[in-house]
Amino acid sequence: MVNRKEQKYIYWTDKVVEEVQQRVKQNKVLQKIVKERGYIVYDEKTPSGKIHIGSGRGWVIHDIIAKSFRDHGLKGRFILSSDDIDPMDSIPPDLPKERFEKFLGIPLRNIPSPEKGYESFADYYFSQCTELFDKWGIEAELESTGERYIKGDFNRMIKIALDNADKIQNIYKKIYGKTIGAEKLPFNPICEKCGKIGTTLAYEWNGDEEIVKYSCEPNLVEWAKGCGHKGEISPYNGNGKLPWKVEWAAKWPTVGVVVETAGKDHFTKGGSRTIAVAISCEVFNYPPPWPSTCNNEGEGYEFFLVEGKKMSTSKGIGVSFAEISQLVPPEILRFLMVKTRPQTTVDFKEENIPLIYNELERYERIYYDLEKVDERERANAKRIYELAVIGEIPKEKPFRPPFEKLIELVKILPDNNQLEFAINKLKEWNQITVVTDKIKKDVEEKLAFAKSWYEDFGKVSEIKIELTDGEKNIINELIDIIKEEYDGENLQTKIFNLINKHNSDPKKIFKKLYQILLKTDRGPRLGPYIIERGKEEVIQKLKAVL
C-alpha cells in the first residue's frame, strides 16, 4: 500500500490512478465495469515474428500502472492479449520462405508452430516473451483475441459495427479526408474454402438474417493471393474479425478497459488511435481508455531504441525481447524502463550498463535509508524502486556491489575456484559479511553477467586518459581532500569548490574522473561513490594516472 505521507511528490503512475478514478466517478458505464471487473489495464500484440524489446517497454508501463492501482487498494489488472487471429502478412526472416509462404493471409493461430511444443505459430512467438514475465516481474493475465472471437465475446460489437457501417465509413472519410478503407464493410471473414482472412472482402450485410456476403479476392493485397471463392457466413463466433482499428475500439467495451496506451506512432493526429477513439465514442458509446478522451487521443509512449535503432516485429529488425533478456539482467532493463518517463525516448547502449546498474544500486541505498538526499528525491527514488523491484521488496538491501568491483574481479579471476575466490575478495573489500547460499547464488549470477559484459564490450572500450598539467594539479589536491573527508555529500561539495578554485569546467573534470574510476564518461554522484567504494582504492587509481 502506498504511504500517503510519502506521497507529497506523486509519481506519474499514481497520477494516472487518480485521473482514472475521477473518470469512473463521472461515468456510470465505467462505474459498472469497474465494480464487476476491476480497473483493467490492457495491451495487445500481434505475434507475427520475434517480438522486439520496444513492446517490452509497453508491457512494463502497463504493469506498473496496474501495480499502482493495487498499491492504492484498488483491483488493478493488467491483461495482455495475443492478436493471434490477425493474418500472416510477411514471413519472418528467421524462417524458411518455402515452408511458410503458403500460409500468407491465414490467421496466425491457424498456422503451425516453427518449433515443436507450441500450439501454433502465434503461440510460439507470444510464448517466447510471456515465458520470461516472471523474470521481468511482469504480472499479466494472458489471453487470446482469437479465443474471444470464438467464444462470442465480440458478437455484440460485430453487429453494432455492421449495423453502423455507414457511420464508420464516414469517420474514415472525415479523419482521412479520402475514402481509404471507407468503402469496405468493417468485417473480414475467414474464407471457408482456403482459410485465409487477409484476402477476403465483405460486401453485403443482411442485418435481419445476420449474414455477411464476401469474396476471397485474388488481388486484394500484395502479400497474399485469394482463392476467388464467394460465400456468405455468420460473422459471429470466430468466423472472422473486425478490421484492427475498429477492433481496437471494440475491445475496450468488450473487455472493460480503463487504461491502454501504445507507442507514439499510433497516437499521431489522424492515426490509428484517432480512428479507434472516434469509433469508440460515436459507434460503441464507450469512453476511450486513458490517456484518450473523446476529444483528444492523448500521447503514446516514446520508442525504446537499441544503439539508436527502432525495431520491427514482422521485419525482424533489432533486438527481440527474448534475446535481450539473455544478454542483460531483466532487473536492469525493468529499472531503466520504470525510471524513464513514457514521453522520453530510451536509447539503450551496452556501454551504459555499468551506469544503469550503479544507479539502481544508488536507488536501493536511498530506499533503505543508507544515503541521505532531499525529500523530493527520496520520495521519487523510493517510488521508482517500489515499482521496479521484481517480486517482494526485500527487508534488507539486496547484495549489489558496484559494477566496477565486479569488473575488477573479472580481471583477476583465477582459472579454478572462481566463486570461492570472488567471495573472499568481496569480503576483503567489505562488500559482503555473512556468506549464505543466496549470497553465493547472487555472486555467481552477477559475476557471470559482468564477465559477459566485459568480454563483449569492456575489453574494447578501455579509455586512454590524457591529462593537462592543470588537471593533474586538481587530482593531486583532490587526493589530499579525500584523505581527510569521510562524508560523501561533504566530499561532493569540496570537489565542486576545488574545480571552481582552479577556474576549470566541472563537466570536463568530472568526465576525466569518471574515466579514471569507472572507464565511462558519466556516473553516480562522485562524493558518495568515492566513500562507498573505498578511499584508499580511489586514491590508488588517481595516483596511477599522474
55 neighbors 70 (Cβ within 8 angstroms): no
Rounded Cα–Cα distance for residues 217 and 191 (Å): 10
Q: What are the distances in angstroms from CA 339 to CA 171, 321, 389? A: 38, 19, 11
pLDDT given for residue 314 in this prediction: 44
236 neighbors 209 (Cβ within 8 angstroms): no
Rounded Cα–Cα distance for residues 253 and 533 (Å): 54
Q: What is the arithmetic mean of pLDDT over 263-284?
A: 94
Could you tell me which residues come within 8 angstroms of residue 532 by beta carbon, excluding any fewer than 6 positions away?
365, 402, 488
Q: Report residue 442 as a C-alpha cell.
A: 547472487
Could you tell me which residues come within 8 angstroms of residue 338 by beta carbon, excluding any fewer than 6 positions away?
60, 64, 384, 387, 388
Q: What is the arithmetic mean of pLDDT over 177-200?
A: 85
pLDDT, tens digit, for every residue of 56-78?
999 999 999 999 999 999 999 99
pLDDT, tens digit, for every residue of 430-471?
888 889 998 999 999 899 888 888 877 665 455 678 899 999
Could you tell me which residues come within 8 angstroms of residue 314 by beta carbon, excluding any fewer than 6 positions away?
46, 48, 49, 89, 90, 92
For residue 529, name the pLDDT band (cuts at 50, 70, 90): confident
For residue 4, name the pLDDT band (cuts at 50, 70, 90): very low
Q: What are the distances in angstroms from CA 420 to CA 57, 183, 190, 391? A: 37, 71, 62, 28
Burial class for 197, CB neighbours closer than 10 Å (0-12, 13-18, 19+) = buried
Q: Report residue 214 as a C-alpha cell.
A: 464476401
For residue 144, name the pLDDT band (cuts at 50, 70, 90): very high
**Ordered DSSP codes for 187-232:** -EEPPTTT--STTEEEEEEETTTTEEEEEE-TTSSSS------EEE
304: phi > 0 → left, psi -120 to 50 → alpha, else beta; which?
A: beta
Q: Report residue 430 as a C-alpha cell.
A: 567489505
pLDDT of residue 311 exceeding 80: no
pLDDT of residue 316 exceeding 50: no
pLDDT, tens digit, for every residue of 369-397?
998 889 999 999 999 999 999 999 999 89
For residue 309, name the pLDDT band (cuts at 50, 70, 90): low
Q: Is 429 helix (H, G, I), strand (E, B) or coil?
A: coil
Total Cβ atoms within 10 A of residue 111: 20
Rounded Cα–Cα distance for residues 101 and 104 (Å): 6
Could you tell me which residues come within 8 angstroms of residue 112 by beta carbon, excluding any fewer than 6 positions away?
120, 121
Q: What percent of the chain has pLDDT over 90?
A: 68
Q: Report residue 315 as a C-alpha cell.
A: 521485419
The DSSP bridge pattern shows strands 200-206 and 211-216 to be antiparallel
Q: What percent of the chain has pLDDT over 70?
A: 93
Rounded Cα–Cα distance for residues 305 and 319 (Å): 9
pLDDT of residue 476 exceeding 70: yes
pLDDT of residue 282 exceeding 80: yes
- Considering only CA atoms, which of 200, 203, 163 is closest in space to residue 183? 203
pLDDT of residue 230 exceeding 50: yes
76 neighbors 41 (Cβ within 8 angstroms): yes
Rounded Cα–Cα distance for residues 474 and 499 (Å): 7
Could you tell me which residues come within 8 angstroms of residue 379 by beta carbon, excluding any fewer than 6 positions away?
6, 7, 8, 9
Q: Amino acid identity of 396?
A: E
* Residue showing cell 501495480: 67
Q: Report residue 416 as a C-alpha cell.
A: 579454478
Helix orientation angle between 330-339 and 353-367, rounded to the nearest 10 degrees: 70
- Alpha carbons within 13 angstroms on the beta-carbon side of residue 140 total 30
Could you give the domains of the chain?
Answer: 13-175+245-346 (3.40.50.620), 176-241 (no CATH), 347-457 (1.10.10.770), 469-544 (1.10.10.350)
> Which position has the higher pLDDT, 537 or 183?
537
> Which position has the higher pLDDT, 460 or 352?
352
Tell if the pTM clears 0.85, that is, is over it: no
Q: Which residues pair with 42 in a beta bridge?
A: 79
CA 325 to chain centre: 12
pLDDT given for residue 352 in this prediction: 83
Q: What is the mean pLDDT of the chain?
A: 90
